[in-house]
Structure 1
Amino acid sequence: MKRRIKKIDYHNKKYSNPFFQQRRKKRVRRLDWSFLWRKKIITLSIWLIIIGLGWLFFFSNVFKINTISVEGTQKISSGEIEGLVWDQTKEKRFLFGQQNNLFLFKKNQFIKNLKERYTFDTLEVDKKMPGNLIINVREKSYAFIWRENDKYYYCDIDGYVIDEINPLEIKGKKYPLIENQGQGKLRDIEIDIEKKYIDYIMDLFNNLKGNAQYPIEKFILDNEADTVKLQIAGGPQVFFNINEDQNKQIEKLNIIKDEKLKDDFNKKFYIDLRYGDRVYYR
């Protein structure tokens, strides 16, 4: 029986030097440590940059508010608006921040506070680098004077109070005077009244303004529904129905004055035009 000889495949034979294997392992370890250190340094650098920028933008004096510009005021004191800004800059924001910083100043909070005190057609607050706050306003125009509880107020066309005034400072008849003789209507800076009453009085004021026959002293609102009372200077009160055509009621007033009352017109206490074609007077 022949003995079987095992054939050796020299191509698949692996040869290795233990010395070189050890060096290779050391090289890999060195590379791993080097990579980890670089990663830690990069991460640390990023955090330092973030912290540095955070300090620069939110806590340094670079972006601290130092200039306040108020533009467009006419009746409202710009100093009062600036004072509201400085008061808010003393307030905290977040844990350590303060609103004297341009980025931490709460613009919406300031606008809300300002609108609770005054009324504007437009109100804009802009932040300008590095520490400027610009407030641009357009105030509402006076439309009428409201009298309640012996106090007088300039109001806009929507019924918002603009200013309280001394009655001695009221000059001429540029604005209609509306006297409230009913329940109190003043709510903070707003007159709690349906807009249709204001609109009716403004139309009536414009229709009769400059009419020598009916010099306007004031308009009166009381607890009578749908009624506006016109006090003629040196004459009677005239009652108007705000749901009826104004021009027709003025025409009835002209007829009763010219054709019936004549010289006795100013001696009457009231003339009531509220009921269709009928006119009542006393």
Structure 2
Amino acid sequence: MSARSFHAIVIGAGQAGPPLVGRLEAAGMKVALVERKFVGGTCVNTGCMPTKTMVASAYAAHLARRAADYGVALSGPVGVDYKRIKARKDKVTNDARGNLEKWIGGMKGCTLYRGHARFESANTVRVGDELLTAPKIFLNTGGRASVPDLPGIHDVPYLTNSSMMDLDVLPSHLIVVGGSYISLEFAQMFRRFGSEVTVIEKAPRLTGREDEDTSAAILSILENEGIAVHVGAGHISFARQGANIAVTFDAGTPPAVGSHVLLALGRVPNT
């Protein structure tokens, strides 16, 4: 099979890929854009946009519970319809992805290929049965959640930031392993939705790259919202406990037992 020639190939249709394709195509180049899953990458599909949409719903619930502080009386307790929250989030994602696909589809000099790209040579890429060749190939493959080989982790169901977006039930007790931005965003969000939430962090404080007073302020905010936080938690392990999941750690406390576990332990590249 002969390869189809392009001026450039861009692998990955995440945040950087489509704008780069747009600039190249506007300069008169013939460009191939390859995406194996969803156009838009992490931000559109499992990161910034869907999570901030959910954060907005969580804030609305939080503010409603504080209605009396503003002199507003509610006729009953604040309730959360998690399926509607997810549907709203999905619509934001689908609309954004659809608009991006329309923009890419309107570029006459761009061809979008769906599939996994594999290098056949320094300037040739295979996507399924197609061979593509170009003197310039750009990698925009992004990253994914890190899943360290912690004891027992493969014996229990667990969630990552991506699979959390598919969750259609509200956890009764969400255990979040990790103490940085992604983990704490989900922790506060689901606490405001009404879940019991526990955060387990191996380091001696949350958000370890920030100043110590910032970490202390974040800890205070989370604890004031009813989130249980354990820092300095070494030797983390997982086991089934009936229908639940037990997370054991050596911070001087009993295991945390929850309905769902979220791993938020950093990112690794997709290359």
TM-score normalised by length of structure 1: 0.25
- In terms of Rg, which structure is larger? 1
Larger relative contact order (Cα-Cα within 8 Å, sequence gap ≥ 6): 2
Normalising by structure 2, we get a TM-score of 0.26
